[in-house]
Amino acid sequence: MTIPAGLEALDFSFTGTRPAGAFAPVLVGVVGSGNLEVLLEAAGGDACSVRVETSARGFGPIWEAVLGDFHERHPLAGVRVSINDMGATPAVVSLRLDQAVAELPHAAQGGRP
């Protein structure tokens, strides 16, 4: 996959314990200055794979920490997460990820309404 000039691509994978099952793709947020969009898609297996394309280069360890925290809250399995970032803060990243999970079927949210 070709990454546009000026962007950095980061890939992460987590082993999930909460199968998401089949669901329609979920898109939240808007790519723009200081914001990002998150796309969740159903995928096979027990992994939650995350692809980040960001204009803020050199922040891999921060992304890893934010996504690790997200996975502790939502140990999803069988999900592909795509994030297109334009410099969002960690708090905004967490908010958008939680908003996307809130759109998933009830079982994938760990029984929360």
Answer whether residue 84 is part of any domain: yes
Give the pLDDT confidence score for residue 45 in this predicted structure: 93
pLDDT digits (tens, 9 = 90+) for 77-101: 999 999 999 999 999 999 999 999 9
- Residue 34 belongs to domain with CATH number: 3.30.230
35 in a structural domain? yes
pLDDT tens across 10-19, in order?
Answer: 999 999 999 9
Domain that holds residue 15: 8-109
Q: How confident is the model at residue 111 (pLDDT cuts 50, 70, 90)?
A: very low
Domain contains 3: no
Q: Is residue 31 pLDDT above 90, yes or no?
A: no
User: What secondary structure letter does DSSP report for 46?
Assistant: S
Would 27 be classed as within a structural domain? yes
2 located within any domain: no
Q: Quick check: is 20 in a domain? A: yes
- Residues whose CB is less than 8 angstroms from the CB of residue 20 and which lie 6 or more positions away in sequence, other chains included: 40, 42, 76, 77, 78, 79, 104, 105, 107, 108
Question: Would 1 be classed as within a structural domain?
Answer: no
pTM for this one?
A: 0.89
Tally of domains in the chain: 1
Does 62 reside within a domain? yes
